[in-house]
Amino acid sequence: MMTDKLLSPVRLGALELKNRVVMAPLTRCRAINPGTVPNELMVRYYTQRASAGLIISEGTLVSPQGRGYPFTPGIWSEEQIAGWRLVTEAVHAQGGKIVCQLWHCGRLSLPQYHDGQPPVSASAINPEIKMFNGAGLSDTVTPRALSVEDIQAVVADFGRAAKNAIDAGFDGVEVHSSNGYLFHQFFSACSNTRTDAYGGSFENRARIFFDVLDAIAKVMPLDRVGFRLNPMMNGMHGMTVDVDTVAMWEHVVRGANRYGLAYLHLTEVMDPKQIDGNPHALAQVSAHFRPIAHMPLISNGRFDQAKSEQFLDAGLCDAVAFGVPWIANPDLVERFARKAPLNAADPSTFYMGGEKGYVDYPALDPSLMA
């Protein structure tokens, strides 16, 4: 019997979830056909995992400009909408719910994805990291700073993508505003040195995010919209935690409170070494933002079942998002219900393409489930 809190129903905005086990957005690089269109293999993958209370799709590009990796799907074309509709219909047929994570990589990209031109960002600052090019790693380049007109076009792309997501049958959307991607690049002083209406003050650095929420509000109810933040991302993807990081992210969350959103998806500190000795860092992310946020919280960050129950019992979150466990365990909810051991994931197959390490992980043996 499903008696643990993790396995109990919960409501996130307009989303009624059958359990609190969320499937985190997981880039898997399987949209290998022309046009970055979701395919039959992806339908199988998501259908296998429809027992989740909520599936958050892999990062889904709002435009060709937003691309940063090979074989990642988009949602700007009719073909992509039709491909995603096959996914959402299959998930719904199994009683699942799924939202589309809307994504723009910004400067975390390579010229090869943009006809040899540099990617775009808040400011012309190279993150100075290496990015996957489909075969190996390449150094990032200095991006082109978006003009105000360019920013308005990006905002329109997100609004259009949200409408397309609804047309594709998604139950809602999540705005990917973390992990060093475009919104994070505007939020952080290390990547945003603008002096116009999109730089400088907290209000200005957050402006593009709220412009996007306003655009999405024109095409769908905001109680079907979530957003993701990873405020303690220090030393990864060219981002840093500095003197105003916590205050900046507090500004974003307080501003988001006005919108009646479905949820805030927060990432806990993944590796304590990232913030050790940093006087500006938070050791506990959900505990800090829980009293600030006026919407339900999803916590993420290397949780196991026991830690999840602790967070839920303490009221630190309303649901928990799992990443790698969902990769290797298509029946993760059933395994939690039975306290069964989990399959181990094979990282070498995370981004390699094909069925191996994608749709071939075994479920529990039915003969042992009586």
CATH number of 122's domain: 3.20.20.70
| Angle separating helix axes 207-217 and 148-167, nearest 10 degrees | 40
Identify the pLDDT of residue 290. 98
Which residue, among 222, 245, 220, has the nearest Cα to 294 in the 3D structure?
222
Catalytic residue among 45, 69, 113, 181: 181
- pLDDT reported for residue 367: 56
Structure-token pair, residue 303: 């949780």
pTM of the model: 0.96
User: What backbone phi and psi angles, to 5 degrees, belong to 288?
Assistant: -75, -45
Contacts made by residues 286-294, CB under 8 angstroms, sequence distance 24+: 286/311, 286/316, 286/317, 287/316, 288/246, 289/249, 289/250, 289/253, 289/264, 290/315, 290/316, 290/317, 292/250, 292/253, 292/254, 293/253, 293/256, 293/257, 293/264, 294/257
Among left, alpha and beta (phi > 0; psi -120 to 50; other), residue 115 is left
Name the residue range of residue 238's domain: 5-368
* Distance separating alpha carbons of residues 164 and 2, to the nearest angstrom: 35
- Please report the pLDDT score of residue 273 as a whole number: 87
Tokens 């630190």 map to which residue?
Answer: 316
**pLDDT tens for each residue of the chain, 370 residues long:** 334 899 999 999 999 999 999 999 999 999 988 789 999 999 999 999 999 999 999 999 999 999 999 999 999 999 999 999 999 999 999 999 999 999 999 999 999 999 999 999 999 999 999 999 988 999 999 999 999 999 999 999 999 999 999 999 999 999 999 999 999 999 999 999 999 999 999 999 999 999 999 999 999 999 999 999 999 998 899 999 999 999 999 999 999 999 999 999 999 998 888 888 999 999 999 999 999 999 999 999 999 999 999 999 999 999 999 999 999 999 999 999 999 999 999 999 999 889 999 999 999 976 555 4
CB 90 within 8 A of CB 47: yes
Q: How many C-alpha atoms does 63 have within 13 Å on its Cβ side?
A: 18
Nearest-5° angle of CA 300, CA 303, CA 308?
Answer: 95
Which pLDDT value is given to residue 370? 45
| pLDDT at residue 368, as a whole number | 54
Q: What is the pLDDT of residue 35?
A: 84
CB 27 within 8 A of CB 58: yes
Q: From CA 285, how far away is CA 311, in angstroms rounded?
A: 12
What is the structure's pLDDT at 275? 87
Q: Name the pairing type of β-strands 60-61 and 297-300.
A: unpaired
Q: What angle do CA 186, 133, 179 make, to 5 degrees?
A: 30
Q: Is 198 a catalytic residue?
A: no
Q: How far is CA 63 from CA 35, 113, 131, 335, in A?
A: 11, 12, 19, 38
Tell whether the torsion through CA atoms of 9, 13, 16 and 20 is positive or negative.
Answer: negative
CA distance 66 to 181: 9
- Asked whether the beta carbons of 285 and 267 are under 8 A apart, the reply is yes
Q: Are strands 21-23 and 15-17 parallel, antiparallel or unpaired?
A: unpaired
- Please choose, from the candidates 269, 98, 264, 259, the residue with its C-alpha nearest in 3D space to the C-alpha of residue 175: 264
User: Which DSSP state fits 6?
Assistant: G
How many domains does the chain fold into?
1
- State CA 269 to chain mean position distance: 16
Cβ pair 227, 256 in contact under 8 A: yes
